[in-house]
Amino acid sequence: MITLGVQTITFAFGLFKIYTDLQVKLKELDVRLSSVEKQDDEIYSKLDKMMEKLTAIEIALQNKADR
């Protein structure tokens, strides 16, 4: 009877450890995802600026060619 109680307590602690480890890993993934999304936003912003500059250069060259 005592063995069954010890096994039950050990099993409960094992489940609790698995749950807490899973929660920690999920939080770490969430932090990484936020970091990657921030980097993506910065990259897209830089690409948009480059595209605007290229468009301006293209228009300037077309205007120069039309003269």
Residue span of the structural domain in which 37 resides: 23-67
Q: Is 14 part of a structural domain of the chain? A: no
Q: Is 62 part of a structural domain of the chain? A: yes
pLDDT of residue 56: 95
For residue 15, the SS3 value is: helix
**Six-digit token string for 49:** 């600026």
Q: Is 38 part of a structural domain of the chain? A: yes
Q: Is 30 part of a structural domain of the chain? A: yes
pTM for this prediction:
0.61
Q: What does the alpha-carbon distance between residue 20 and residue 27 come to, in Å, rounded to a whole number? A: 11
Q: Is 54 part of a structural domain of the chain? A: yes
Q: Is 9 part of a structural domain of the chain? A: no
- Please write the tens of the pLDDT for every residue from 7-42: 999 999 999 999 999 999 999 999 999 999 999 999
Q: What does the alpha-carbon distance between residue 43 and residue 59 come to, in Å, rounded to a whole number? A: 24
Q: What does the alpha-carbon distance between residue 56 and residue 10 come to, in Å, rounded to a whole number? A: 69
- Structural domains in the chain (count): 1
